[in-house]
Amino acid sequence: MTKTEFEIKALFKKIGNDVTNGYKSIFNASIILIGVSLIGLSQSIPKIIEYDYKAKEILFSIQAQENKLFKDVQCNKIDKKIAECNFAKYIEETNKASTFFVGSISGNSFMFGFLLLILSAVGYINNAIHAAKK
């Protein structure tokens, strides 16, 4: 066995020991991450839906006025509601970015929390096996 292989084996053994001994802390961290992701979604999604509703309300009125799909409407060629048209386009773009940002942050923290939860279960099982051997 080379020195590098020995070092890698020792590293994995140390990680395994840390997981076995620290499964309670890993469990706590997983619950916190999962909770933060769910709280983040519950706080931000209603606001995003509210802004989306306002944008869609303006968007549909402009579509009805122009008899075109909103993506085909050029705001500078509308006689009335130029400001509302630009505002609707702004809100629509902002909502897409906000939804993506909130979704990615919440999704990543939820997945990381779930992985930590699995890791804590492995640590708990290893701890029980080591305790049974003693």
**DSSP per residue, 24-63:** HHHHHHHHHHHHHHHHHHHHHHHHHHHHHHHHHHHHHHHH
The pLDDT of residue 6 is 72
Residue type, 102: V
Do the Cβ atoms of 114 and 30 come closer than 8 Å?
A: yes
| Residues sharing a CB contact under 8 Å with residue 48, sequence separation 6 or more, in sequence order | 95, 98, 99, 102
Do the Cβ atoms of 37 and 109 come closer than 8 Å?
A: yes
Positions in the chain whose pLDDT score sits under 50: none
Using alpha carbons only, give the angle 92, 98, 102 rounded to the nearest 5 degrees.
Answer: 150
The pLDDT of residue 33 is 93
Give the 3-state DSSP-derived string for 97-112, with helices as H, strands as E and coil as C: HHHHHHHHHHHHHHHH
User: Which two three-digit tokens encode residue 96?
Assistant: 């897409």
The pLDDT of residue 1 is 65
User: Which two three-digit tokens encode residue 32?
Assistant: 């916190």
User: Which two three-digit tokens encode residue 129?
Assistant: 């096996």
The pLDDT of residue 103 is 87
